[in-house]
Amino acid sequence: MTQENRKNIAILGAGIGGMAAAYDLARAGHHVTIYEANDYVGGLASGFKEPGWDWSVEKFYHHWFQSDRHMLGLIEELGWSDKVLFPRPYTVMYHNGRFYPFDSIPAALAFPGLGFGIDKLRFGLVGLYLRLTNNWQAFEKTTVDAWMRRWAGDRVYELMWQPLMIGKFGERYASQVNMAWMWARLKARTTRLGTYQGGFQAFADQFAEKLRQMGVRIHLNHAVRRIEPHAAGLLTLDTAKGPAQYQQVLSTTSPALLAKMAPSLPPDYLKGLLELKSMGAVVMVLALQQQLSTQGYYWFNLPKSAGFPFLALVEHTNFLSPAYFGGSHIVYAGDYLEPEHEYFSLSQEQLLQRFLPAFSRINPDFTPAWVQKTWLFRTVYAQPVPLVNHSKNIPSIQTPLPGLYYASMSQVYPWDRGTNFAVEIGRKAAGLMMNQSQSMGNH
């Protein structure tokens, strides 16, 4: 690359998507600087590590699926595939006071809640059809609620899918989410779940170190307050440490934060950003001195109607050995909630008191004395809400403001958010930025 074609590029956010974009841009010879408001890399996939632990624990539980070709492909390019592990954990579903395995077709067919007649057949056929078809565009014209009631039947929908929809999107949006979201979820997921040796934070840290070796500058604790057009076609970033100019800027923030930072965007693009709906997430991580699920169950799907104070209970150390965590048994209690929900304002101790009685429903021997330590993580931007005909609401990666690009989990639709699609959208944005650079260089 000639010196005049080398661009000065800023990336806002050191999550997996931002780092994937930086990797491609730096490889192509551009000067890349990443600005990250937090004091760590990894974004929503970041983790924490206690003294005496060999591995980190993710703040918001994360996995890879065997079908995650963008993420696993990047890891292969980096030469780290030997560090990816795919254990086989067990997922269970609640029915009439008991838990039943629910992570394979045979297990689903044996699930007693569906009985043994036409409901079980309809459930199986619907699942098969959704896995085989690729025409997701037809699905976005209707809701999960309407489509499933029509083809799977009211009983199957209300028993199997509605609890998931209410858990994930709340009473407000559960019946409004379009069917393409469900299609993508069933299409892309596998029963084996993957992780990285040392935890996701280990991957993020190694990736950041690789980027630094490639010449990428990563500024932690360095929030960007504003993005403004500057003379000579540049963009000015207003940061806590003063202004800085770049030829291109890629933002990987939430839509609301981009709208706040870049008020010079045209009104219709800003309006589109602000109209996007999303759910927040509240996750409490607990270190217990004993195993909670003695059957070795990993993931508990908990319907709100059964009175549990959270959507999912995940016993991390039934997926990975407690030996990685100083012998402690690590459990997640998590929920997707609207940002106005009281869980966002309750203290850690108040939330713990809400959650503790539910652990006795998993294991009657449980007592609060088992709890060694707890951690609480909250984010108001965790799960985009795709309504009917959502594809027309997706913000373009190349914004109308020259030089400003945008890549977020709100744009990976119809796929669900996750590190795999963060890599895909990050690299897609980098490709657009490089094409733009080349076309400008050719004029």
**In this predicted model, what pLDDT tens digit does every residue of 137-149 receive, in sequence order?**
889 999 999 999 9
pLDDT of residue 91: 85
pLDDT of residue 96: 81
pLDDT of residue 443: 35
pLDDT of residue 138: 87
| Whole-Å CA distances, 317 to 9, 87, 252, 419 | 41, 12, 32, 22
Average pLDDT value for residue range 93-119: 76
Contact of 319 with 87, CB cutoff 8 Å? yes
Average pLDDT value for residue range 236-247: 93
Q: What percent of the chain lies above the pLDDT cut of 90?
A: 62
Pick the range with the lowest mean pLDDT from 11-15, 128-132, 321-325, 362-366. 128-132
Average pLDDT value for residue range 215-232: 94
pLDDT of residue 438: 55
Highest-scoring range by mean pLDDT, 160-164, 306-310, 319-323: 319-323
Which has the higher per-residue pLDDT, 28 or 124?
28
- The values of phi and psi at residue 30, to 5°, are -80, 155
Q: What percent of the chain lies above the pLDDT cut of 70?
A: 95
Residue 1: pLDDT over 60: no
144-177 CB burial, b ≥16 within 10 A, e <16: bbebbbeebbebbbebbbbbbbbbbbbeebbebb
pLDDT of residue 303: 83
Average pLDDT value for residue range 362-372: 96
Residue 2 confidence class, pLDDT cut points 50, 70, 90? low
Q: Which amino acid is at 195?
A: T
Residue 79: pLDDT over 70: yes
Question: In this structure, what DSSP letter does residue 30 have?
Answer: -
Contact of 397 with 425, CB cutoff 8 Å? yes
Helix (H, G, I), strand (E, B) or coil at 120: helix
Residue 442: pLDDT over 60: no
| Whole-Å CA distances, 109 to 160, 299, 320, 415 | 12, 18, 28, 26
Q: Which amino acid is at 136?
A: W
Question: pTM for the complete prediction?
Answer: 0.90
- Per-domain residue ranges for the chain? 3-52+199-275+392-442, 104-188
pLDDT of residue 3: 60
Highest-scoring range by mean pLDDT, 48-52, 306-310, 386-390: 48-52
Residue 440: pLDDT over 50: no
Residue 268 confidence class, pLDDT cut points 50, 70, 90? very high
Residue 116: pLDDT over 70: no
- Cis ω before 414 (30° cut-off from 0): yes
| Whole-Å CA distances, 80 to 75, 172, 353, 392 | 5, 42, 42, 38
Integer Cα distance of 270 and 44 in angstroms = 24
Integer Cα distance of 325 and 323 in angstroms = 5
Q: For the domain 3-52+199-275+392-442, what is the CATH code?
A: 3.50.50.60
Following DSSP, what letter does each residue of 250-277 receive, concatenated?
A: EE-S-HHHHHHH-TTS-HHHHHHHHH-E
Contact of 316 with 284, CB cutoff 8 Å? no
pLDDT in tens, 196-207: 999 999 999 999
Residue 158 confidence class, pLDDT cut points 50, 70, 90? confident
- The values of phi and psi at residue 3, to 5°, are -60, -35
Average pLDDT value for residue range 150-158: 88
pLDDT of residue 218: 97
Which has the higher per-residue pLDDT, 126 or 52?
52
Residue 46: pLDDT over 50: yes
Integer Cα distance of 152 and 130 in angstroms = 12
